[in-house]
Amino acid sequence: MASKRDQIVLTPDEIDAFLEEQRTVIVGTNGPRGVPHMMPLWYIVRGTEIWGWTFTKAQKIKNLERDPRATLLVEAGETYDQLRGVSFECDVELDDNYEVVKAVGIDLFTRYGDGNYPVDAVVQMIEAQAPKRTALKFIPKRTMSWDHRKLGGGY
């Protein structure tokens, strides 16, 4: 008989669907005082990589310049029997190339935008933001996942 842990693991297709459904990833980096620095980030998935952007002066960028590893967490569920999520241990590549950052920004606003803004205005805003931002490419090295709904209410 499979262990409870084996019963709740998400398949790769389930992970893809879950990441598409959710909106925010919590990024954990190694902070300057030796404690985890946890921050929310909007994200896009490109193949097996997770991408985001943030201000170049942000603490998470400083942390990743020192130690280019992060843990990502995307989770959902209000009660124990509904908990589900995925966590990735990642290597991280930072990219401040204007065209790369701009492309990430456009992908983010395509995913998260409400469609009420003219495309030209969005592109103009992204072009203004891109020089101040860095793209983050998270490359998963280890994945952990769970979906307590698979237990059917049993523990």
Identify the pLDDT of residue 2: 65
Identify the pLDDT of residue 152: 78
pTM of the model: 0.92
Confidence of residue 153 (pLDDT cuts 50, 70, 90): low
Flag the least confident range among 95-104, 114-123, 140-149: 114-123
Confidence of residue 3 (pLDDT cuts 50, 70, 90): confident
One DSSP character per residue, the chain reads ---HHHHHPPPHHHHHHHHHH---EEEEEE-TTSSEEEEEE--EEETTEEEEEEETTSHHHHHHHH--EEEEEEEE-SSGGG-EEEEEEEEEEEE--HHHHHHHHHHHHHHH--S-S-HHHHHHHHHHHGGGEEEEEEEEEEEEEEEGGGGTT--
Please name each of the domains of the chain with its CATH number.
Answer: 4-148 (2.30.110.10)
